[in-house]
Amino acid sequence: MDLTPERLSELSQLPTGNIADNNNNAPHQGVMHSSIRPIDPASRVLGRAVTARCYPGDNLALHQAIYTAKAGDVLVLDCHGYTEAGHFGDIMALACQVRGIAGVIIDGSCRDSQDIKAMGFPVFARAFNSSGTVKKSLGEVNVPVLCGGVLVRPGDIVAGDCDGVVVVPREDEDEVFSGALAKFAKEQHIVEALKAGKSTLEIYGFTELIEKLKNI
């Protein structure tokens, strides 16, 4: 799938729930652990993954990843879930923003969260910690990583909003997003039906299901 500006605009309207519901080939529907949350609940991100694996408390590989990524990419940073150091801060966020990077997902801690929020740059992290880091090891860039318990490979599509982060394997993306767009359109019709006075019991056929369950 070519993520043209037009295609990105179309896909970016999708809630992560619609994407996850159609991401059935991925374990747990590709949804990262619920502790991976956005600094700003209003944040949304969608793009192809550029990955980095670093040693806990060492963020040199994260700096390398920034200058490996292209405009529109999403950095997915595997810090092994280590939350006792702030691996990513406002200076790195600005470096990403200048390069046109779409956002950052960190399985580890972030700091300078208020400054990053004020910048309007999407960052999703496991925790916040003001402690500093060292720069002693190269780590690995653009390799398969685990982030929030989900396998992320370079080039997979990553989508995030206030409900969490979903990873769509590259080989499944056409099918997943086609289904997600169809579900999104269907839900708009449901919204209109609810506004017109129908109940969820009617719309989803739950009345019949309830009667059937009563007779079991």
Residue 38 forms beta bridges with which residues?
A: 124
Here the tokens at position 149 are 């318990």
Summary mean pLDDT of the chain: 95
pLDDT tens-digit series, residues 149-162? 999 999 999 999 99
Give the residue extent of every domain in the chain: 5-170, 177-214
**What's residue 207's pLDDT?**
85
- The SS3 call for residue 47 is strand
Q: Residue 150: what pLDDT?
A: 97
- For 48-65, what is each residue's pLDDT tens digit? 999 999 988 999 999 999
Smallest CA-to-CA distance from 22 within 135, 190, 173, 215 is with 173
**pTM for the full predicted model:** 0.93
Rounded CA-CA distance 41/22 in Å is: 23
Q: Which amino acid appears at position 200 of this protein?
A: T
Confidence of residue 190 (pLDDT cuts 50, 70, 90): very high
Q: Tell me: the pLDDT tens digits for 63-100?
A: 999 999 999 999 999 999 999 999 999 999 999 999 99
215 pLDDT band, cuts 50/70/90, is confident
Least confident of 46-60, 116-130, 163-177, 201-215: 201-215
Structural tokens at position 33: 């652990």
**For position 211, what pLDDT does the model report?**
86
Task: Give residue 141's pLDDT band: very low, low, confident or very high (50, 70, 90).
Answer: very high
CA dist 145 and 213 (Å) reads 44
- Look at residue 216 in the predicted model and tell me its pLDDT: 76
Share of the chain above pLDDT 70, in %: 100
- At 72 the pLDDT is 97
- Asked if 166 contacts 90 with a C-beta cutoff of 8 angstroms, the reply is no
Per-residue 3-state assignment (H helix, E strand, C coil) for 157-214: EEEEECCEEEEECHHHHHHHHHHHHHHHHHHHHHHHHHHCCCCHHHHCCHHHHHHHHH
What are the Cα distances from residue 195, in Å, to 201, 204, 206? 14, 15, 18
CB neighbourhood size of 138 (10 A): 12
Tell me the CB-side half-sphere exposure of residue 133, using CA atoms within 13 A. Answer: 28
Domain 5-170 has CATH 3.40.190.10: no
